[in-house]
Amino acid sequence: MDLDPTLPGPSAAGPARGWLRAVVEEALLAQRGHLLPWAPVALGVGIGLYFALPVEPGTMAWTAVAALGVVALLLARRLSTGFAPLALGLALVAGGAGLAGWRTWDVAAPVLGFRYYGPIEGRIVEIDRSAKDAPRLTLDRVVLRDMAPERRPARVRVTLRGDQRWLVAEPGRVVMMTGHLLPPSGPAEPGDFDFRRMAWFEGLGAIGYTQSPVLTRAPPEGGLWMHRLRARLSLALRERIEGDAGGLAAAVSTGDRSGLSSAANQAMRDSGLYHLVSISGTHMGLLVGFVFLLVRTAIAVVPPLALRVNGKKVAALAALPAAALYLGLAGRDVATERAFVMVAVMLGAVLADRQAVTLRSVAIAALIVLVLRPESLVSPGFQMSFAAVTALSAAFGAGLRPRTRRWGWAGVVAVLVLASLVAGLATAPYAGAHFNRFTSYGLVANLVADPAMAFLVMPGAVLLAIGGVFGATQPALLMIELGCRWILLVADLVAQLEGAATGVVGPPGAVLPLLTLGGLVLILWQGRGRWAGLPLVATALALWMGAGRPDLLVAASGGTMAVLGPEGRDVARPRGDGFAVAAWLENDGDLLAQEAAAGRPGIEGEGKLFRARIGAEEVLLVRGEAALAALEGCGGATILVTDRREAGARPCLVLDAGALAGTGAVAGWREGEGLRLMTAADLAGSRPWTAGGP
C-alpha cells in the first residue's frame, strides 16, 4: 500500500530529543557524590545576580523569586535522579538572591546626605592609616550638631591632619573635634569600584577629616575590651620591635596595620607579599597548624598518654579555641572571619575522621561565609582566598602529594614550590582585576619569604602568648623580629627589581564571572564535560585583552579631567582629585604617578583653563568662580567642565559641580568624530547604597 505523501511521516525529532536527554542525564548522574561543591556556586550565582541588578527589586520581584524557589524545590521531588539537582541548584540561586537582599536591609543605617562642617563627637572603635599615611579614627555613637539621632550615621571615619601628638588614641575613648564630613564617595569612573557599597555593609555613613585638635570627652569605660587588648598588644610589639618590622609584627598578630609605613606597604604589594600583611587563611592556617603540631607532639612524647588518647583529635580540640582567640584579637573583619570558618571546618573534619583539606570542606566553608556575609562574594579577599584554596585542594586531591613523599626533603621543597605556583596562578587574575598589577617575581618572593612566616613569625606569636604568662617573652620576640625583618628585606629587594610590578588594564565586568565559572567547571565537573570550561576561560581572557579604555574621564568634583593621548593618559593637573586620578591610571594599567602623567601630550593649558580635542569634540575645563565668570559662552568648546555650581545657560554641554553631584564621574568614548558619554550613575543604578541611606 502506498503512503499518502501529504500525511506526516515518522520524525527523527522525537528520538533525537530522547537521545539528547539520555546523554544529558548520564552526564548529570556522573556528578553524584560530587554535588556539594556546586551548592556555594549556585548560592553565589544568586548573590551575584542581586548585586548586578540596576535597581533594587520591589515586592512583586521578591514574590516571584520566592515562588521560583518553592517551585524549584517541588520540582526536585518529581524529577529523575539526574535532573533533580538542577532544580535544587535553581532553588539555591533564588535563595542566594533573597539572602543578599535581606542582608542589605538588615545592615541599613543612615548615610549623610550633604557636606557637613562642625563639631563631631563619637567613640573610637578602630584606628588605622589612610593611603597617604595619615592616622584615621572610626567612630560610633556619633553626635553631630543639629542632627536628630535617627539621621546620624552609625559610624564615621575621620582622617587626622595637623599635630595630634597629645591624643591618646585607643578604642573606647570618647573624643570630640571640629571637622568636615561628606557621604561615602562613588566610583572614580563609570563601572569602577563603588566604595559606597562597601561602606553600606560596614555601617559607615560618612567620611571626612579634621585639622583641629582631637580632644577627649570621656575615657574608655567598659565594652570594647578586646579592641583595647588588641591596641595594647599592638603598641607593645611596636615598642619592642622598632620600625616597620614592629608594624608588620603587630599587623600579623593583632590585625593592626597602622604601624606599617606607606613605603613598606608599597614594597609588599610590588613584591607579591602583601597577603602576608592582612590576616587571612595563611596566618590562621599557620597558627592553627603550629598549635596542632605542638599539642600532638606533646602527647606523642608521653607514651602512657599517647596510648590512651587520640592525639590528633585532642590537638584539633586545642587548636580550635586558639583560632577563635586569634579571630577575636584580629578584629573579626571579613577576611579573618572567612579564615576562621575555613580552619574550623577543617578541624571539624579531623574530629570527624575526615580528610581536612578537600573540595567538600572548602564548599562547606564557602557556604557558611556566604550565608553570614553574602556581600563578601564581591570582595577581592573572598575571591582570591577561595580561588587559592580551591585550586590547591584540586591539585593535591589529584594525588600530587603522595607522589612527592618518597623524594624526602626534595619532596618538601617540591610541595612548597607547587603550592606557591598553584595559588599564585589561581589568584593572579583576581589580583590583576582588582588591584591592576601583576607581580613578576611573586613566586620567588613567596618561596623565600613564606618560610620566615611559617617557622619564625607565627610560631613566635604562639610562644609569645605562652611565654607571656611566665614572663619569658624575649626568645619569642627575637623569633618574630627576625622573621619580620627578613620578610621586609625580601619585599624591598624584589620590589626594586626592574619589572617587579606590571600594570594591568581593568577588565570589563563580565570577565571575572566568566573566568570563575570556567575554572569551576574545569575543577568540579566529573567527566569529559569539564573541558567545556576552557572556552569560557578563553572568552574571558579575550574580552580582557580587547578591553578598551575611555578617551575622556571627568572627576565627580569637576576639578580635573584626563584624556587618552598618544603616550597614555594625560591628566589636566599634577595635583588635586588624587584618588580619582590614581584609579584612572591604575585602570589603564599605568603605574605612573599623577604628576608625571600630567606632563604627557593631550591637554593644553595651565592655571584655571585646560583644553583638549577628541575627534570633532573640544572639551574645556574651567576652575574657579572668577575664571568661569570671565568665560564667554563655552570658550569655543562643545563640552564645558567646571568645579563651580550653576554655570548658567551656555551653548554647549555643561558638566558643572551641580550636575556632576547627581551623575558622578563621567567617561567618554570616541565614536566616529563624536563622543559617547556615560556617567557613574548610569552603571551604579538605583540601589540602597546609591540612594543616600534608608
- Nearest Cα neighbor of 344 from 329, 330, 359, 323 is 323
* C-alpha–C-alpha distance, residues 103 and 315, integer Å: 36
Residue that the C-alpha cell 561543591 belongs to:
37
* C-alpha–C-alpha distance, residues 208 and 199, integer Å: 13
Tell me the CA distances in angstroms from 542 to 500, 516, 573, 671, one per residue in order: 25, 14, 34, 22
Residue 602, classified by CB atoms within 10 Å of its CB into exposed (0-12), middle (13-18) or buried (19+), is buried
- Nearest Cα neighbor of 573 from 619, 625, 610 is 610
Distance from the first to the final alpha carbon of the chain = 79
Residue that the C-alpha cell 532553588 belongs to:
91
Residue 617, C-beta contacts closer than 8 angstroms, at least 6 positions apart = 638, 639, 668, 673, 674, 675
Q: What is the pLDDT of residues 440-497, one digit of tens each?
A: 898 899 889 988 998 899 999 888 888 876 777 888 999 999 999 999 999 999 999 9
* C-alpha–C-alpha distance, residues 248 and 234, integer Å: 10
Residue 564, C-beta contacts closer than 8 angstroms, at least 6 positions apart = 549, 550, 551, 552, 570, 588, 602
Residue 533: the pLDDT is: 94
* C-alpha–C-alpha distance, residues 552 and 619, integer Å: 9
**Positions in the chain whose pLDDT score sits under 50:** 1-9, 693-694
Residue 407: the pLDDT is: 59
β-pairing verdict for 437-439 and 552-554: unpaired
Residue 694: the pLDDT is: 40
Residue 692: the pLDDT is: 58
- Nearest Cα neighbor of 371 from 98, 664, 688 is 98
Residue 162: the pLDDT is: 85
Question: Which grid coordinates are listed for 53?
Answer: 541588578
The answer to pTM > 0.85 is: yes
Question: Which grid coordinates are listed for 421?
Answer: 605556583
Residues forming a β-bridge with 159: 136, 209
Contact 56, 88 (CB under 8 A): no
- 3 state SS of 261: coil
Kindly report the backbone phi and psi dihedral angles of residue 604, in degrees, each rounded to the nearest multiple of 5, phi listed first.
-110, 145
* C-alpha–C-alpha distance, residues 189 and 583, integer Å: 8
Q: What is the pLDDT of residues 1-41, one digit of tens each?
A: 344 444 444 555 566 667 777 877 788 888 888 899 999 99
Residue 6: the pLDDT is: 47
* C-alpha–C-alpha distance, residues 137 and 175, integer Å: 10
Residue 152: the pLDDT is: 93
Contact 291, 318 (CB under 8 A): yes
Kindly report the backbone phi and psi dihedral angles of residue 109, in degrees, each rounded to the nearest multiple of 5, phi listed first.
-150, 160
Sheet of 674-679, strands arranged across: 568-571, 561-565, 552-554, 666-671, 674-679
Residue 636, classified by CB atoms within 10 Å of its CB into exposed (0-12), middle (13-18) or buried (19+), is exposed
